[in-house]
Amino acid sequence: MHTHKVLFLGLSLWGSFAMGGFFAWAEASRPPALDSSAGVFLVSHSATEGALELEQDYTAYAQEALEKALSGFAIANRKTFSVSSALTLETIATHCRAEGVRWGVIVMTTLKGYRFSWHFAVYDEEEHRFRSYDYFFIPLGSGGFSSPVIDRSAQGVAQNWHNSLSSRDFDGRLAVTQGQRFTGVQEGVRVLFGSLDHFLEGGILAEGEFTSAFNPFTEGLPLYGVLVKDRYWPRSLTLPQGVTPETVRLPLLQRKTRHSIAMGYEFRGDIFACLDVEYRFHLLPDRLFLKAEWGIYNDTSQLSDGEKALHQEYRVGAGVYVQPRPDGGLRFYAGTGLSLLTASGSLITLADPLWVGAEYHFPHWALKAEFRLPELLGYQRDSFEADTSGFRSYGLVGILLKW
């Protein structure tokens, strides 16, 4: 045999052995196939401080209801794991891969006060998405435990999962597989998904950012929530596309005002002596307030016999904000009261029938502008005679500090 033929044959045999070894190595390193007939149950329960003490294990009942509903569609419960913290997508996927199963069946329950809520979901590790899910809650206490509601929820999840596999009557909705990232500047703001009466905890802003707790919300559908913080007005939140990979910046919440101090400049008299200081006590935060005010200006009046003199005015009154929302940025108010004016040893008391103003509010301060109509029904010295010819309406601008 010629030398080149022997060389060719040897190379061919070596190549065959090498290729066979490569495919054997690739096959051995490939992750084992997931068992599509089996799943794991992942059970998580949390209870807030002050929650109602239960006579029945509602979490166990929810788990049994979902197991029973899924048993009719040939999914086996291979193992059950109790998870102490909230379930995340990584936790679910890790358990599925470790057990070599395709399905992760989720039972997350929460007891908050007198409300028991649950999340049911079926996760597909092969496609890395949720096939079916449901969330609901029931009030406890007066009405007792409503097991049919949980049963119907479990049956709906099982049926929707089965339909998603067979493409029969499946609504096509998918659930998100991650939480929502938020940023903001107000530390301690809580994000609640839902309403103040019916919500899921999203998370708390700390060090300017956080990613919300995982919940299998519907992908692509609007998601509504509420922002809350102690001593601040709550504010609604809307995510038009639901949970997305984009970062959402939280808007500022307005502080509930109990006290405020304003400092302003009055447009009257001598430009170098037209100061005003005001204190307000809010009987109803950002709605109804009482105020006490002191102002000083340099001008002429009948009190000073037509000569320029420093006038001091002491005012008391009550006012009300009239904007639709108490936490509105732009606010309008009106009020009435009495004032006492002194100058050159003379004194006059005046009615202060109407003053109106507008403010633009930030969380801890506001810009204000106020217009005061002419004083009426005054009496000068001890004569009890109405004499207001020397007094005029005026406006002022200033800044309001609130706490």
What one-character-per-residue DSSP string does 137-168 give?
EEE-SSS---HHHHHHHHHHHHHHHHHHHHTS
Q: Are 96 and 125 in contact (CB under 8 A)?
A: yes
How much is the pLDDT for 348?
81
CA proximity to 313, closest of 367, 349, 284, 288 = 349
DSSP state of 53: P
**Contacts by residues 238-244 (CB-CB < 8 Å, ≥ 24 positions apart):** 239/180, 242/176, 242/217, 242/218, 243/176, 243/178, 243/179, 243/180, 243/212, 243/217, 243/219, 244/180
How much is the pLDDT for 392?
61
What DSSP string describes 107-146?
A: EEEEEETTEEEEEEEEEETTTTEEEEEEEEEEE-SSS---
How much is the pLDDT for 200?
77
Name the segment(s) of the chain with CATH classification 3.90.950.
35-166
Question: 247 φ, ψ to 5°?
Answer: -85, 135
Question: 96 φ, ψ to 5°?
Answer: -65, -45
Which residues, including other chains, have CB under 8 Å from residue 294's CB and lie 6 or more apart?
A: 276, 277, 278, 312, 313, 314, 315
Name the segment(s) of the chain with CATH classification 2.40.160.20.
259-402
Name the CA dihedral angle for 200, 205, 210, 216, rounded to a multiple of 10 degrees.
10
Phi-psi region of 321 (alpha: psi -120 to 50; beta: other; left: phi over 0): beta
CA proximity to 65, closest of 17, 109, 112, 3 = 109
DSSP state of 304: G
* Cβ neighbours, 10 Å, residue 93: 15
Give the architecture-level CATH label for domain 35-166: Alpha-Beta Complex (3.90)
Coil, strand or helix at 280: strand
Sign, CA dihedral 147-46-40-194, equals positive
Residue 286 C-alpha from the chain's centroid: 21
Strand partners, 133: 121
Structure tokens at 254: 């307005």
Burial of 110 (0-12, 13-18, 19+ CB in 10 A): buried
Q: Are 187 and 209 in contact (CB under 8 A)?
A: no
Cα separation, 252 vs 205, whole angstroms: 12
Q: What's the whole-model pTM score?
A: 0.67
Coil, strand or helix at 183: strand
CA proximity to 286, closest of 253, 308, 263 = 253
pLDDT averaged over consecutive 10-residue blocks of the chain (403 residues)?
Answer: 53 54 45 81 83 75 90 80 80 90 91 83 86 80 69 89 69 72 96 82 91 81 93 96 94 96 85 86 98 89 76 94 95 94 83 91 96 62 44 82 96
Sheet order of strands, 248-249 included: 209-211, 181-183, 248-249
Q: Are 146 and 115 in contact (CB under 8 A)?
A: no
* Cβ neighbours, 10 Å, residue 232: 18
Fold annotation for 259-402: Porin (2.40.160)
